[in-house]
Amino acid sequence: MKQQKHRYILLIVSLFTFACFADDMEVITDEYFPYAYHENGQLTGCSVELTKTIIDRLSIDASIHAATWVESWTALSKKQPVMHVVLVRSPRRETRYQWAGPQTESPLYLYALKGYDKHLKNNNVLENSTVACVHGYATCEYLESFGFSENNILKYPTEKVLYGHFAKGTFDLLLGDRMATALKFRYFLGYIGDIKPVVPIDKTLNLYFGFSLATPSSIVNGFQRELDAMKANGKFNAVIKRYLGNTTQ
């Protein structure tokens, strides 16, 4: 009887804590097509839609605010509840944040423009190829871990600038995932580029909901529970399909 009463007390305390902090939680995202981006002045994307659905299910009174990556990183470092709509979960970030997910897990490849794959057959990729990433993104971390030297890694301020330079041949190889790279090319440049995955990478791009360390575990667990429920009832795949096409988890 005492144990049952104790469980009820813990449940009430947990719900009270959730209610207190949920209304104060800041929800942010930077532009990361097709997961979070602006269309006709409105913030949209599969991660945005998933977040809105789960926020509603958890009765959290919060709106999603767009921010730059630097602003997002700064917010996540605060000693208060902060959630980022879509965040790459990487070894370097593992202990910096809390996680709920995954939203997607997609194989990584080095992509090249048509014709460059012939160059790969006769040359050392790491020594003779230039690659690029967006400054501060986890892809920079991955490229370094693959063995590319700092001199061979170009860094750009946004994905739009990155893809523009790739199309012009400013650098040789682009690190991207199979689910979204072609979609990004069309979104940023207006056409399907003649690109192909040429070097498979023994890693996946794992996208999660990211939370500051100050976010109560009840909120993080709530997001995980609701995401798992959406995967089980098919609503998750329906959202992913709308933005990424015929891709299933």
Query: For residue 113, is pLDDT > 50?
Result: yes
Q: Distance (Å, rounded) from C-alpha 88 to C-alpha 204?
A: 10
The β-bridge relationship of strands 42-44 and 26-29 is: unpaired
Q: What is the mean pLDDT of residues 32-53?
A: 97
For residue 146, give both structure tokens.
Answer: 């693959």
Query: For residue 120, is pLDDT > 90?
Result: no
Say which DSSP state 31 is in.
-
Q: Distance (Å, rounded) from C-alpha 45 to C-alpha 36?
A: 4
Q: Distance (Å, rounded) from C-alpha 72 to C-alpha 30?
A: 7
Residue 205 carries which side chain, given as an amino acid letter?
A: L
E strands present in 143-245:
153-156, 173-177, 195-211
Q: What is the pLDDT of residue 194?
A: 84
Please, what is the average pLDDT of the chain?
88
Residue 117's Cα: distance from chain center in Å? Answer: 28
C-alpha pair distances (Å), 115 with each of 26, 119, 150: 46, 8, 25
Query: For residue 121, is pLDDT > 70?
Result: no
| pLDDT tens digits, one per residue of 219-244 | 999 999 999 999 999 999 999 999 99
Q: What is the mean pLDDT of residues 197-220?
A: 95
C-alpha pair distances (Å), 179 with each of 183, 207, 218: 8, 12, 31
May I ask the CATH architecture of the domain 2-104+206-244?
3-Layer(aba) Sandwich (3.40)
Q: What is the mean pLDDT of residues 80-90?
A: 97
Residue 167's Cβ-count burial label (10 Å; 0-12, 13-18, 19+) is middle
Q: Distance (Å, rounded) from C-alpha 122 to C-alpha 83?
A: 46
Residue range(s) of every CATH 3.40.190.10 domain in the chain: 2-104+206-244, 106-205
Q: SS3 letters for 228-241?
A: HHHHHHCHHHHHHH
Do 34 and 45 form a contact (C-beta atoms < 8 A)? Answer: yes
Lowest-pLDDT range of 112-116, 118-122, 147-151, 165-169 = 118-122
In CATH, 106-205 is 3.40.190.10 = yes
Helices 46-57 + 235-244 axis angle, to 10: 150
Q: What is the pLDDT of residue 202?
A: 87
Q: What percent of the chain has pLDDT over 90?
A: 75
Q: What is the mean pLDDT of residues 85-111?
A: 96
Q: Distance (Å, rounded) from C-alpha 244 to C-alpha 37?
A: 13
